[in-house]
Amino acid sequence: MTVSVPATSANLGPGFDTLGLAINLRNQVKITTSKFHSVSLKGEGSSNPKLKDNNMFINIFNDFYKNISNKKQQFRFEFQNEIPLSRGLGSSSAVIISAIASAFAVGGMELSKQKLLNLALQFESHPDNITPAVMGGFTVATVDDHEVHFIKKKLPKNLKAIVVIPNRPISTHLSRKSLPFKYNKDDTAFNVSHSSLLTAAFMSENWEMLRAASKDRIHQYYRMKQMPELFYVQKIALRNGALMSTLSGSGSTFFNLVYEEDAKNLISKLQKNFSHFKIFSCDFDNDGIKVDY
Amino acid sequence: MTVSVPATSANLGPGFDTLGLAINLRNQVKITTSKFHSVSLKGEGSSNPKLKDNNMFINIFNDFYKNISNKKQQFRFEFQNEIPLSRGLGSSSAVIISAIASAFAVGGMELSKQKLLNLALQFESHPDNITPAVMGGFTVATVDDHEVHFIKKKLPKNLKAIVVIPNRPISTHLSRKSLPFKYNKDDTAFNVSHSSLLTAAFMSENWEMLRAASKDRIHQYYRMKQMPELFYVQKIALRNGALMSTLSGSGSTFFNLVYEEDAKNLISKLQKNFSHFKIFSCDFDNDGIKVDY
């Protein structure tokens, strides 16, 4: 059985803990029954001997599997990872989502996408990465009474994501700690209006509106201060065809959305200025998690 | 020449200073050239001898007209008003919008809806009433660099607005003053996510999502405390078929959205409990301002 989950970019500027979308970089795990427990790992994270993120997978998988099945079965897990670790591209959410889904699939128990999202809240209280990881596309989500409420919109093929991955992370913990405790009414209303307009722009495919709508006043500035080059990444991107240019999750990756025909030029402009960062184009993903038996 | 503008309900719960929609109660003014300046007023406000809101119309009209035309022409203004005054249904925005549009129309000068919105910002800095008044339908708007950026979605005929108009106003000024100066991160993120989800629900016509998405934490509670019956209006509405039930602008009107088939029952339930309030059903408006020569 094989489970794969896409990378995700959350917040999208003003949509703090709310908006996200799925990018077609996938983490895949192949699970087969085996006499002994074993793990292999290729791709992102494979140079880390602690296999930290994979242990998180195994722990969550085992937790659910023991509740679903009373068989004492051992498994071989073969991981093939494309999502960079600790760069704000949803690698933790991908692990959580794929581990839960794998346990249900291997245990032979049905699991709706809605239930998968609700179960994932135990491990990740914000819905902005887990929702696009499960559903694909652009998603708007909130949590109410332990349930994820969301709306999804597919993304068209003529748009590309240009991801700019710095050579070092911003700690999610430090990044959250750097945010103010309180916001004034103007900044609050600013983000309410921009996140709503950005949502309407995605829903109505009004891409020219992204530029005005993707501005944020409540988190990006505070987080980007920890890696000031990011202000220049954003400036260069917006001057060279990016329809929007936002911090991916809590960073350090920068997410840029462009028309297909502008992708090549934007990559070359960014690469010229940030030769030490990994910069490439990706398709969007509209499927979310895939489980193949 | 006749200009008419619809009533509007702004905020729609979480969409503080951002979301609004147009309701088919219209203020109309008929303007004819005349030897002497004269004004007649029928409908809402006609019992007020000061004609306060009409003076606002004449002042704004004159301001613009004198810049557009160098003729020393006098006019007869015949107002026919359906929008209640000072109840949070956009009567001021309707006056501003219709006065500017009338001056341009009478002066024979073209005026796009976008320019009309931008000009209206001189008199009303928030875009949440003026945008649906001009465009009709459901609108998401923000102001950036003296320009209104907005997206509109038409509302279908099988939805109705049930408006509950209390027998007294909440002062807009007091209502704004009652709001906190600062919001914590949780309440800010709550409104960002709910306003965005509400936007997605309107854009995708996912009416069942309105109930979860229309919750607010940043303004309604503080304003409703000034007229505590409103908490009961909301409770009764949500228990009797309202898909959403929100304070209209800064009040005192309560706006409820229902499927057509639930309108009659909701009105009767509300009327039984609030016999001193004016309660009735309206269609939504998808046209916004209308100028007929």
DSSP for A196-221, please give it.
HHHHHHHHHT-GGGHHHHT--SSSHH
Is residue A148 less than 8 Å (CB to CB) from chain B? no
Residue A250 DSSP SS3: coil
Chain B residues within 8 A of A192 when measuring between CB atoms: 14-18, 191-192, 195, 218
Is residue B269 less than 8 Å (CB to CB) from chain A? no
Beta strand A254-259 pairing with A244-247: antiparallel
User: Which amino acid is residue A9, in one-letter code?
Assistant: S
Q: What is the pLDDT of residues B232-266, one digit of tens each?
A: 999 999 999 999 999 999 999 999 999 999 999 99
**Cα of A250 to nearest chain B Cα, Å:** 15
Q: What is the pLDDT of residues A133-184, one digit of tens each?
A: 999 999 999 999 999 999 999 999 999 999 999 999 987 677 667 899 999 9
The helix or strand, by DSSP H or E, that contains position A273, with its residue range, turns out to be helix A263-273
Q: pTM here?
A: 0.96
Task: Tell which residue, B183, B218, B187, B16, has the closest CA to residue A182.
Answer: B183
Domains in chain B (CATH in brackets) are: 2-154+286-292 (3.30.230.10), 159-282 (3.30.70.890)
Task: Tell which residue, B135, B139, B114, has the closest CA to residue B21.
Answer: B139
**Cα of B29 to nearest chain A Cα, Å:** 32
Segment B80-97 shows an average pLDDT of: 95
**Cα of A176 to nearest chain B Cα, Å:** 11
Segment A12-24 shows an average pLDDT of: 98
What tokens does B40 get? 């007649």
Whole-number pLDDT of residue A55: 84
Chain A residues within 8 A of B142 when measuring between CB atoms: 190, 193-194, 197, 212-213
Cis preceding linkage at A245, omega within 30: no
Whole-number pLDDT of residue B280: 97
Per the CB < 8 A criterion, the answer to whether B28 and B3 are in contact is yes
- Least confident piece of the model among A48-57, A123-132, B183-192, B248-257: A48-57
Is residue A198 less than 8 Å (CB to CB) from chain B? yes
Give the pLDDT band (50/70/90) at residue A292: very high
Which residue(s) pair with A281 in the sheet?
Answer: A162
Is residue B193 less than 8 Å (CB to CB) from chain A? yes
B209 and A149 within 8 Å at the Cβ level: the answer is yes
Which residue(s) pair with A32 in the sheet?
Answer: A76
Give the C-alpha separation, B92 to B86, whole Å. 8
End-to-end CA distance of chain B: 5
B151 and A183 within 8 Å at the Cβ level: the answer is no
Whole-number pLDDT of residue A54: 56
What tokens does A239 get? 């001057």
Is residue A21 less than 8 Å (CB to CB) from chain B? no
Give the pLDDT band (50/70/90) at residue B79: very high
